[in-house]
Amino acid sequence: MSKINQHILTCGGTGCRASESKELAQNLRDEIASNPAIEGSVKVVECGCFGFCEKGPIVKMLPDNTFYTQVKPTNAKEIIEEHIVKGRKIENLLYTDPVTKEVIDESKNMGFYKKQHRIALRNCGFVDPENIGEYIAREGYEALGRAIFEQEPQVIIDTIKASGLRGRGGGGFPTGLKWEFTKNAKGDQKYVVCNADEGDPGAFMDRSILEGDPHSIIEAMAICAYAIGANEGLVYIRAEYPLAIDRLKIAIKQAEETGLLGDNILGSDFSFKITIKYGAGAFVCGEETALIQSMEGLRGEPNLKPPFPAESGYFQKPTNVNNVETLANIPVILNKGADWYASMGTEKSKGTKVFALAGKINNVGLIEVPMGTTLREVIFDIGGGIKDGKKFKAVQTGGPSGGCLTEEHLDTPIDFDNLLAIGSMMGSGGMVVLDEDDCMVSMAQFYLEFTVEESCGKCAPCRIGNKRLHETLEKITQGKGVMEDLHQLRNMSEVIKETSLCGLGQTSPNPVLSTLDNFWDEYVEHVEDKKCVAGQCKSMLRYVITEEDCVGCTACVRVCPTNAITGTKKKPHIINQDLCIKCGACMDKCSFDSILLIA
Amino acid sequence: MSKINITIDNRKIEVEAGSTILEAAKNIGVEIPTLCHMNLHDLNVENKPAGCRVCVVEVEGRKNLAPSCATKVNEGMVIRTNNMRVINSRRTVMEFILSDHPKDCLVCAKNGVCDLQNMAAQLGVREIPNQEIYSMSEYRLDTSPSIIRNMDKCIMCRKCETMCNEVQTVGALYATGRGFDAVVSTPFHMDLVDTNCTYCGQCVAVCPTAALTEVDHTRAVIRAINDKSKTVVVQTAPAVRAALGEEFGLEAGHLVTGQMVAGLRQLGFDHIFDTDFAADVTIMEEGTELLDRLGKHLAGDKDVKLPILTSCCPGWVNFFETQFPDMLDIPSTARSPQQIFGSIAKTYFAEQLKIKREDMIVVSVMPCVAKKYEAQRDEFKTDGNPDVDISITTRELAQLMKQANLDIKTLPEEEFDQPMGESTGAGVIFGTTGGVIEAATRTAYELYTKKTLENVEFKQLRGMEGIRSATVDFDGFDLKIGIAHGLGNARQLLNDIRDGKSDFHAIEVMACPGGCIGGGGQPYHHGDSSILKKRAAALYTEDERKVKRKSHTNPAVIKVYEDFLGAPMSHKAHQLLHTNYFDKQQEGPEIVKGDDCTSCN
């Protein structure tokens, strides 16, 4: 048998699979199998997400690091014949920088990757998530082994505390402290829970980690269990993540078979098992007390804290709940040391953070940058700037709990406290970039629509207040708002924030408050001038006929369903705004571009 | 308990560690408004979802306002319950709640006794901004024989849920849906009649609004009395007299027996009778049944079912029919006093009046909403004509009296009519937990020992603990008695029986905490459980005042057996005073009626 000397890494994440990456991988294997010259020396590996989703499916060639983008299953033959057999790079599959037009063949030279520092995502796009050996080969389970045989639980907790790691699920609570609380809580049985109920619209870092590097989570949970004195772990994962669930199941099985999970791990006295609990897709179940209720088979709704889960959690036992991304950092911190981790980031936010870039940005995808990187670097250097050369308007961070930030905030170093200070939040790391065509009132309305759906309904301000916010925003976007509504919006938002029971209601008005703060004039325009400059609020738009371009052909008159257009033949026509239903049929029909849509 | 120092509204006070801000404030006379919080101290029931957010206060150093009902005080805590930030938030939250609540107060069942209405007034809410653009939650109206669910009026306080699940362990009501559509509902939004609901009415007893109310039968009473071709007979349950006064501003526990009789006479009922009479009959039947089973047991009969369970409470009967259908042969077969009354009234008394049963209308005044359902059960009808035609609650009677300008405070005391107005102290105490078994013990003791019972008060059977047990010396034989009130407690005793761990000879069960005095048809206690104790004390007082305190000494009861029924547990008694139970986990219960008297065969 010949030695494998070339690897073809394909993206096996959910996004690229939707673009037929699985078929692509199969085609590559078929091509290799049908070529006796290379068979046995080239291996195709389906990895986790590479992050550069904008250009997926991704294929990376090793050892020469060639990075192919937007590869289709039909490209398989070419890749094998040209790249593998003849050693020639396929030009049209290489990445072209949208600004410099330079063709770049290695990821490390691409703007998207240059400023990234991947810790939580270290193995995504490198290892086969379904093969424990590949994880072990990259220092996997070393931290666990060292913990069990060489370290006292308190030493581990002290290391995590010293690293400055804070919860990546949104709260930003110091992870080491949380572990310590659970360790010190009295209880005959303790639990480690991995919160994989990722719910922010557009955020998919947790899914990507579980799909691309499930063993890092298993290892981290085991370390946590050892540190706090637990022997049972639970992963609460959305049932909508089938691929992540599959890979996690495979990983748990492999870890058990390898003696890294189960009774007497690595022959020690320490035993730990993991079971999977499925969530039904309720956003609020990402809140730890609601998550615990849901795991217990109860209605997923939060409880007042205290008591915190560390004292009384799953079935009233001390329970440590950490989010996926938080856990993914644990083994690396223990391998490389607290000082190494704490050397990255800002004063109070250490390490790196994964963000899901979305919206009107050139490079949509998943990125990981050191804390303290500025919004400008993320959006323009990594994200490649705004699509179609449009103007940057705002960036929405923190998902439905966050706020909209503007041009003036672009040079703010991103960390937990800075984002809070400017009226947004880190959240789980969603980042939606908006351009001049986005209406900020509609934006707030969009997020409220989400929270209205996802509120559990337990407390009155969140259950009813958010609905009222949404209805008031709708009134404004329909052109029926009055100035008093803006004052109502602010009062309602502030009251909902300070009276709601859990984090959902305490943050859900943020999109409203931040847009009121940063885009007050736009609200006033909607209310006073009945004008939406972004052109998104349809009810405020008007179709008008430009007198000089109209030849009076009457085509528009014939197509108008409400007889809103009148005029004499061969003379300019006019649209009666009272009758117009803004269907746009006239504009489609006009051959002279004489009908305009104006704000 | 250690003490800690806190500051509330600039007043430095010392409070017990572990108390909530709400409790601490109460100590200095500051009543923080609440909607969803309920603490029935005497029953050990607390509902504290911290969901309404009306009770929020400012705690120094905290970013957000804190719910005072669920936030415990810490040493040095500085609290403001009344600054403008708090008041603005409280009022805005109240506006939210009202914005999703129907505004039909004028014709609402809770008009004047609604906690939400009172709170809106207290917080000075005069208008809901933008109400015209706000949508309202709308749900299907669900009417059952006893309870109406109008969930448009639900404010998600979850009190009913606590009662239905934690106290009663019935599980008919639970929060469903998400966000704006979240509402307390039945499993799969079924109609209440299709659920395990026992109609105990504890949900109605605690509902702050008119989301859960009794089915109103006052109109039917007016129609019946107006119908000159009918003879209208009314019976009043023991617990009613101990609570009716509350509806007229009297202190809880103020007995109004005579005034109630006067009021009923003013309303135009033809015969004013007492359910206590029927309670005495119940004891004759149930006591005899107990002694019968006990005698067989002592004679070595292994098949005899012991303990015997009381069967006066329709909520309890529904509970074991739906939840313990394998144990239907354990409870006494004696009907409840309401039904025994109806049965005797429409036979014995109708014969005395020489009228057909169809021309008699029996109205019952009950502390209970389950009685409405019980009265409609098919097995309590003869040729479609029910033994009890209309069952109204204490609250409905108060309503009728108020409509008729009758104030219980100014009415004279009058006597019940004869013969079915005659009762003993044993019949009176049926209305409180422990009362039925105490009444049965008084009679059973004398029948069993053939001796006169000198001290009729069995204090060991009284109290408010959820499960109680006592042993009564029957002249050398130890009769072991269990008592449970609240269906969750009853479930525990039933599970013990099923597991063969119960050594009781007799168990009394009442569905409602406190017994009938705490029934779902009583004046609203608004979360003050001390009211129940006062009502219970009133019944024991009435018992003390009675000359005759043992059921079998009731002359009217003796006469009805002599003239009509024969002996207790006779064939006629079985036909008229006993019943069968049905497995309600099965569809369509088979009705056993008339001559198919299974007890005699």
Contact B99 A484 (CB under 8 A): no
Q: B25, B54, B82 — which closes off a domain?
A: B82
Q: Is residue B94 part of a domain?
A: no
Residue B600 has pLDDT above 60, yes or no: no
Contact B174 A299 (CB under 8 A): yes
Q: What is the pLDDT of residue B587?
A: 58
Q: Determine the Cα angle at B225 with ends B220 and B229, to 5°.
A: 110
Please give the structure tokens belonging to residue B56: 């929020």
Confidence of residue A598 (pLDDT cuts 50, 70, 90): confident
> Do B198 and B370 form a contact (C-beta atoms < 8 A)?
yes
Average pLDDT over residues A573-579: 92
Give B 136-175 residues with CB within 8 A of chain A. Answer: 155-156, 174-175
Please tell me whether residues B173 and B318 are part of one structural domain: no
Q: How many domains does chain B have?
A: 3
Q: Is residue A125 part of a domain?
A: no
Q: Which residue from A577, A552, A549 is spatially nearest to A562, judged by alpha carbons?
A: A577
Q: A54, A87, A114 — which closes off a domain?
A: A114
Q: Which residue from B188, B242, B314, B218 is spatially nearest to B542, judged by alpha carbons?
A: B242
HSE-up of residue A179 (Cα within 13 Å, Cβ side): 34
Please tell me whether residues A62 and A136 are part of one structural domain: no
The question of whether B374 is a catalytic residue gets the answer: yes
Q: Is residue B412 part of a domain?
A: yes
Q: What is the pLDDT of residue A434?
A: 95
Out of B144, B332, B423, B529, pick the active-site residue.
B332
Q: Is residue B289 part of a domain?
A: yes
Q: Is residue A126 part of a domain?
A: no
Please tell me whether residues B190 and B268 are part of one structural domain: no
Instruction: Please tell me the distance in Å from B158's CA to the nearest CA on chain A.
Output: 9
Out of B312, B313, B368, B512, pick the active-site residue.
B312
| CA quadruple B311, B313, B317, B319: dihedral sign | negative
Average pLDDT over residues B9-37: 95
Please tell me whether residues A191 and A287 are part of one structural domain: yes
- CA-to-CA distance for A323 and A316, rounded, in angstroms? 20
Mean model confidence pLDDT for chain B:
94
Range in A216-225, A535-544, B69-78, B484-493 the model is least confident about: A535-544
Contact A304 B156 (CB under 8 A): no
Q: Is residue B363 part of a domain?
A: yes
Q: Is residue B330 part of a domain?
A: yes
Please tell me whether residues A40 and A70 are part of one structural domain: yes
CATH number assigned to the domain comprising residue A96? 3.40.30.10
CATH number assigned to the domain comprising residue A361? 3.10.20.600
CATH number assigned to the domain comprising residue B34? 3.10.20.740
The question of whether B286 is a catalytic residue gets the answer: yes
Residue B243 has pLDDT above 60, yes or no: yes
Please tell me whether residues A95 and A222 are part of one structural domain: no
Q: Is residue A326 part of a domain?
A: yes
Please tell me whether residues B361 and B317 are part of one structural domain: yes
Which DSSP symbol is given to A54? Answer: G
Report pLDDT digits (tens) over B496-522.
999 999 999 999 999 999 999 999 999
Report pLDDT digits (tens) over B123-138.
999 999 999 999 999 9
Out of B286, B321, B438, B508, pick the active-site residue.
B286
Report pLDDT digits (tens) over B437-491.
999 999 999 999 999 999 999 999 999 999 999 999 998 999 999 999 999 999 9
Ramachandran assignment for B144, one of left (phi > 0), alpha (psi -120 to 50 degrees), beta (any other): beta
Q: B34, B52, B82 — which closes off a domain?
A: B82
What is the reported pTM? 0.92
CATH number assigned to the domain comprising residue A199? 3.40.50.11540
Tell me, yes or no, if B100 comes closer than 8 A to chain A by beta carbon: yes
Please tell me whether residues A142 and A287 are part of one structural domain: yes
Report pLDDT digits (tens) over B264-318.
999 999 999 999 999 999 999 999 999 999 999 999 998 898 899 999 999 999 9
Please tell me whether residues A464 and A566 are part of one structural domain: no
The question of whether B454 is a catalytic residue gets the answer: no
Please give the structure tokens belonging to residue A46: 């389906």
> Do A121 and A368 form a contact (C-beta atoms < 8 A)?
yes
Q: What is the pLDDT of residue B589?
A: 45
The values of phi and psi at residue A412, to 5°, are -75, 125
- CA-to-CA distance for A283 and A278, rounded, in angstroms? 13
> Do B426 and B500 form a contact (C-beta atoms < 8 A)?
no
Q: Which residues of A258-297 are buried (b: 16+ CB within 10 A; e: fewer)?
A: bebbeeebeeeebebbbeebbbeebbbbbbbbbbbbbbee
Please tell me whether residues A160 and A202 are part of one structural domain: yes
**Domain, as residue range, for B331:** 219-577
Q: What is the pLDDT of residue B601?
A: 47
Q: From A461, which residue of chain B is nearest by alpha-carbon distance?
A: B93
Report pLDDT digits (tens) over A281-330.
889 999 999 999 999 999 999 998 889 999 999 999 999 999 999 999 99
Q: What is the pLDDT of residue B597?
A: 52
Please tell me whether residues B293 and B441 are part of one structural domain: yes
Residues in chain A within 8 Å Cβ distance of B96:
460-461, 464-465, 468, 492
Q: A313, A341, A369 — which closes off a domain?
A: A341
Report pLDDT digits (tens) over A178-192.
999 999 999 999 999
Instruction: Please tell me the distance in Å from B51's CA to the nearest CA on chain A.
Output: 4
CATH number assigned to the domain comprising residue A515? 1.20.1440.230
Which residue is it, tokens 């409400």? Answer: A562
Instruction: Please tell me the distance in Å from A294's CA to the nearest CA on chain B.
Output: 13
Residue B31 has pLDDT above 70, yes or no: yes
The question of whether B289 is a catalytic residue gets the answer: yes
Average pLDDT over residues A254-262: 96
CA distances from B66 to A69, A285, A491, B16 (A): 53, 22, 18, 19
Residues in chain A within 8 Å Cβ distance of B69:
none
Please tell me whether residues B19 and B143 are part of one structural domain: no
Confidence of residue B598 (pLDDT cuts 50, 70, 90): low
Percent of chain A's residues with pLDDT above 90:
85
Q: Is residue B533 part of a domain?
A: yes
Confidence of residue A3 (pLDDT cuts 50, 70, 90): confident
Please give the structure tokens belonging to residue A4: 């494998």
**Domain, as residue range, for A550:** 541-598
Please tell me whether residues B357 and B467 are part of one structural domain: yes
Please tell me whether residues B63 and B136 are part of one structural domain: no
State the burial class of residue B281 (Cβ atoms within 10 Å of its Cβ: 0-12, 13-18, 19+).
buried
Confidence of residue B592 (pLDDT cuts 50, 70, 90): very low
Report pLDDT digits (tens) over B352-387.
999 999 999 999 999 999 999 999 999 999 999 999
Out of B214, B247, B285, B289, pick the active-site residue.
B289
Q: Is residue A536 part of a domain?
A: no
Q: Is residue A1 part of a domain?
A: no
Please tell me whether residues A169 and A263 are part of one structural domain: yes
Q: What is the pLDDT of residue A201?
A: 84
Tell me the one-letter amino acid at A162: A
Residues in chain A within 8 Å Cβ distance of B50:
304, 459, 501
Percent of chain B's residues with pLDDT above 90:
94
Across the strands, what pairs with A392?
A435
| CA quadruple A223, A224, A230, A233: dihedral sign | negative
Please tell me whether residues B198 and B309 are part of one structural domain: no
Please tell me whether residues B335 and B444 are part of one structural domain: yes
Q: What is the pLDDT of residue B41?
A: 87
Please tell me whether residues A304 and A164 are part of one structural domain: yes
Please tell me whether residues B298 and B337 are part of one structural domain: yes
CATH number assigned to the domain comprising residue A567? 3.30.70.20
Contact B178 A455 (CB under 8 A): yes
Please tell me whether residues B227 and B330 are part of one structural domain: yes
Please tell me whether residues B447 and B511 are part of one structural domain: yes
Q: B82, B110, B131 — which closes off a domain?
A: B82
Q: How many domains does chain A have?
A: 5
Average pLDDT over residues B232-247: 98
Which DSSP symbol is given to B18? Answer: T
Q: Is residue B366 part of a domain?
A: yes
The residues, any chain, with a CB within 8 Å of residue B339's CB and separated by 6 or more, are: B374, B375, B380, B387, B388, B579
Average pLDDT over residues B96-112: 96
CATH number assigned to the domain comprising residue B196? 3.30.70.20
> Which uninterrupted H or E stretch holds B296?
helix B275-298
> Do B211 and B154 form a contact (C-beta atoms < 8 A)?
yes
Give all strands (DSSP E) within B299-427, no chain letters: 308-309, 360-366, 381-382, 385-386, 390-393
Q: Is residue B328 part of a domain?
A: yes
> Do A560 and A549 form a contact (C-beta atoms < 8 A)?
no
Average pLDDT over residues B184-194: 95
Q: A503, A529, A555 — which closes off a domain?
A: A529
Residue A2 has pLDDT above 70, yes or no: no
Please tell me whether residues A282 and A425 are part of one structural domain: no
Which residue is it, tokens 């609601």? Answer: A290
Q: Which residue from B122, B509, B578 is spatially nearest to B343, judged by alpha carbons?
A: B578
- Give this complex's ipTM: 0.93
Percent of chain A's residues with pLDDT above 70:
100
Report pLDDT digits (tens) over A96-142.
988 788 999 998 889 899 999 999 999 999 999 999 999 999 999 99
